[in-house]
Amino acid sequence: MDIQNKAIVIGSGIGGMASAIRLAVMGFEVLVFEKNGYPGGKLSHFKKNGYQFDAGPSLFTQPELIEELFTLAQEPIADYFQYKPIPISCKYFYEDGSIVNGYTNRDDFAKELEHKLGEDGGTLKEYLAQSATTYNDIGSIFLNYPIHKLATLFKAPIRKAFKAVKAAFLFKTLNQVNKASFTKANTVQLFNRYATFNGSNPYKAPGMLSLISHLDNNIGTFYPKGGMISITNALFRLAKKKGVKFHFECPVVEIITEYDVAKSVVVNGHTVDADVIVSNMDVYFTYKNLLKNDYKAKRILRQERSSSAFIFYWGINASFPQLELHNVFFATDYKAEFDALFKTKTMYSDPTVYVNITSKCEPDVHAPNGKENWFVMVNAPKNIGQDWQDYQLRYRKAIIDKLNRLLKTDIEPLIEMEEILTPKMIESKTTSYMGSLYGSSSNGKMAAFLRHPNASRNIKGLYFVGGSVHPGGGIPLCLQGAKIMAGLVQEEYD
């Protein structure tokens, strides 16, 4: 490949930076244009009053995907990034008083479910074994191949995948699969939660999503030293080491095409040419704002958007030894919560509450001595103009009421610092249409296969990465999407 070939990446989210690294290793001169003054997209960070917070994604799985980038770039990952396994992937609290430690060791988790919920441990092991098979034989094709390109897809082990497919995965919902697998309602609720990992509804999403539990419970959960922002920092440093040039506070306003070929972008009043253009922007906004194609943009909206989130960042003037890095306080009526999220698109009065506390792993670093940094999140509907100021007050009260009940304490007097992030703010800061965290949801049998591909079918030289396109949102999938995109570029230039 000619070293003069130039690539432009629009946006420096995780998918954008991973794409920039891969293209640089391939020999491209890579320019990244980012509208914000910092890299990382949703994976950002802030400090206030002695507390540090990861502002976005808080769960770290599949570290091998990051290791792969460093191996590809021939750089020692230990010089950039370190992490450790977490023995408890999540701690679960139920309104009936049950408390379950989600051990990453399968035997320990089986014993925990038997002891705490009365669920047969053997049933759990069978479920997780099937989850592993589904992930390895079916999910691996979806995650590693451009499923929209038949010629390339034929390279995948399709026959093995078809043998592994069970009718229930295609024709039943995740909730139906879990109800058929477990006998206890609390266990079903625990495994229904995995639909939220891509912003979906377990009562509508296909049973195939049971493969997500493989990541938490078979592969394991990890903590990156320094918090999730260390992922952003490591990829940013690696990209710069490979020669990638970043331009911050430089929003791209247009992608220029000629005869169905992507030619250049317009940024800060200048036209910058490129051989390859990769959009890490939400695919809806890419078509509507950058390509000025309202028709294509509207077609994107045929798929139901994923849920969003309402987040409180609390500096807590106390220590809670009964809590872990990841904690979930479940709603009593889980179905009613998802009906509110996706049907009425309103706040649910008793939401499931997720609390992430990175000071559990690095005390006195992310919070002052004897205190904790709480990232408190509830699933929220996409932004359609709701009164988020009113919702802020109502969410805050509902969260505090639930935590008071289940932790048997009074949380509010302990909150000495607070910041918030609403779906409307998510949309503004990260250009995620309607504040949807994962672009489209998987609320349908074929929804996951209808995501926008990583290469344009109509415009040569135009590619897409990030949570709004194949294979989906979340750190691992964005990294996988960058790999798929780079493979498509390689095919074009070979």
Dihedral, 421, 374, 60, 381 alpha carbons, nearest 10: -30
Cα–chain-centroid distance for residue 485? Answer: 18
The predicted structure's pLDDT at residue 235: 98
The predicted structure's pLDDT at residue 302: 86
Cα–chain-centroid distance for residue 407? Answer: 28
CB 367 within 8 A of CB 373: yes
The predicted structure's pLDDT at residue 168: 54
Find the largest Cα–Cα distance for the chain.
66
- DSSP calls for 34-84: ESSSSSBTTS-EEEETTEEEE-S---B--THHHHHHHHHHT--GGGT--EE
pLDDT above 70 (res 51)? yes
Tell me whether strands 372-380 and 308-316 are parallel, antiparallel or unpaired.
antiparallel
pLDDT classification of 1: cutoffs 50, 70, 90: very low
Residues whose CB falls within 8 Å of the CB of residue 69, separated by 6 or more in sequence, listed in order = 18, 21, 22, 235, 238, 479
CB 394 within 8 A of CB 347: yes
The predicted structure's pLDDT at residue 252: 98
pLDDT tens-digit profile of 116-169? 999 999 999 999 999 998 888 776 777 777 766 666 556 655 555 555 556 556
pLDDT classification of 442: cutoffs 50, 70, 90: confident
The predicted structure's pLDDT at residue 136: 83
The predicted structure's pLDDT at residue 94: 98
CB 216 within 8 A of CB 104: yes
Sign of the C-alpha dihedral, residues 314, 315, 316, 319?
A: positive
The predicted structure's pLDDT at residue 159: 57
CB 12 within 8 A of CB 231: no
Return the CATH number of 6-43+63-82+225-303+451-493, one of 3.40.50.970, 3.50.50.60, 1.10.3720.10, 3.90.550.10. 3.50.50.60
Domain residues of the chain, as ranges? 6-43+63-82+225-303+451-493, 108-220, 305-438
What is the DSSP secondary structure assignment for residue 469, as one 8-state letter? Answer: B
- What is the token pair recorded at 250? 């430089």
SS3 26: coil
d(CA 290, CA 15): 19
pLDDT above 50 (res 435)? yes
pLDDT, greater one: 148 or 27: 27
Q: What is the CATH code of the structural domain delimited by 108-220? A: 1.10.405
pLDDT above 70 (res 397)? yes
Residues whose CB falls within 8 Å of the CB of residue 330, separated by 6 or more in sequence, listed in order = 92, 93, 94, 95, 186, 189, 352
Looking at 3-12, 304-313, 425-434, which range is the least confident one? Answer: 3-12
Select from 240, 229, 286 the least CA-distant residue to 433. 286
Average pLDDT over residues 303-311: 95
pLDDT above 50 (res 11)? yes
pLDDT above 80 (res 191)? yes
Average pLDDT over residues 194-216: 92
Q: For residue 460, what are the β-bridge partners?
A: 261
Select from 26, 13, 5, 10 the least CA-distant residue to 487. 26
The predicted structure's pLDDT at residue 319: 97
pLDDT above 50 (res 266)? yes
Residues whose CB falls within 8 Å of the CB of residue 162, separated by 6 or more in sequence, listed in order = none
The predicted structure's pLDDT at residue 152: 59
Looking at 28-32, 238-242, 262-266, 362-366, which range is the least confident one? Answer: 362-366
d(CA 279, CA 12): 10
pLDDT above 80 (res 450)? no
Average pLDDT over residues 37-62: 96
Select from 6, 42, 5, 14 the least CA-distant residue to 280. 14
Q: How many CB atoms lie within 10 A of CB 388?
A: 18
Residue the block writes with tokens 């507390």 = 51
Asked, as a colleague might, if the bond just before 471 is cis with ω within 30 of 0, I would say: yes
CB 58 within 8 A of CB 271: no
